[in-house]
Amino acid sequence: MNLQLHSETHDLSGKVKITGSKSESNRLLILQALQPLLTIDNISNSDDTVVLKDALKSQESIIDIHHAGTAMRFLTAYYAVQPGKTVHLTGSGRMRQRPISPLVDALRTLGAKIEYEENEGFPPLKIEGQKISKQEVQIDAHISSQYISALMLVGSSFPNGLKIHLNGKVTSLPYLKMTAQILKKVGVETIFEDTYIQVQSSRIEAKNIAVESDWSSASYFYSLAALSASAEIELSTYHKSSLQGDSSLVSIYKQLGVNTTFKDNSILLIKKETTTLNELRLDLNSSPDLAQTIVVTCFGLGIACHITGLHTLKIKETDRLLALENELTKLGATISVTNDSLSLAPSSQIHKNIAIKTYEDHRMAMAFAPLALKVPIVIKNAEVVSKSFPDFWRNLEDFKIYHKILP
Ligand X SMILES: C=C(OP(=O)(O)O)C(=O)O
Residues that bind ligand S3P in the complex, under the rule CB under 6 A: 23, 70, 144-146, 149, 171-172, 175, 288-289, 312
| Among 19, 43, 51, 69, interactor with ligand X by CB under 6 A | 69
**What residue 388 binds from ligand X, ligand S3P, none (CB within 5 to 8 A, per partner kind)?**
ligand X
State how far Cα 194 lies from the chain centre.
23
In this structure, the number of other CB atoms found within 10 A of the CB of residue 323 comes to 24
Q: Does 363 bind ligand X (CB under 6 A)?
A: yes
The Cβ of residue 48 has, within 10 Å, a number of other Cβ atoms equal to: 24
Selected range binding ligand X among 65-73, 147-155, 260-268, 273-281, rule: CB under 6 A: 65-73
Residue 68 interacts with which of ligand X, ligand S3P, none, CB < 5 to 8 Å by class: ligand X
Q: Is position 144 annotated in a ligand binding site?
A: yes
Residues binding ligand X: what is the number (CB under 6 A)? 9
Judged by CB under 6 A, the chain residues 374 through 403 that form the site for ligand X are 388
Residue 24 contact, options ligand S3P, ligand X, none, Cβ 5-8 Å cut-off depending on partner type: none
User: Any binding-site annotation on 316?
Assistant: yes
One-character DSSP codes across 365-406: HHHHGGGGGTS-EEETTGGGGGGT-TTHHHHHHTTTEEEEEE
Q: How many CB atoms lie within 10 A of CB 276?
A: 7
174 binds ligand X (CB under 6 A): no
Residue 103 binding ligand X, by CB under 6 A:
no
Q: How far is 400 from 14, CA to CA, in rounded Å?
A: 10
Q: Are strands 125-128 and 113-116 parallel, antiparallel or unpaired?
A: antiparallel
| CA gap 94, 68 in Å, rounded | 10
Choose, from 11, 289, 319, 398, the residue flagged as catalytic: 289
Q: Which of residues 274-333 bind ligand X (CB under 6 A)?
A: 289, 316-317
DSSP 82-95: STT-EEEEE--TTG
For 136-164, what is the HEC assignment? EEEEECCCCHHHHHHHHHHHCCCCCCEEE
Among ligand S3P, ligand X, none, the one that 245 touches (CB under a kind-dependent 5 to 8 A) is none
Give yes or no: 214 in active site: no
CB crowding 141-155: b at 16 or more within 10 Å, else e: bbbbbbbbbbbbbbb
Give the footprint of ligand X on this chain (CB under 6 A).
67-70, 289, 316-317, 363, 388
Residue positions annotated with a catalytic role: 289
Residue positions forming the annotated binding site: 22-23, 27, 69, 98, 144-146, 172, 289, 316, 320, 363, 387
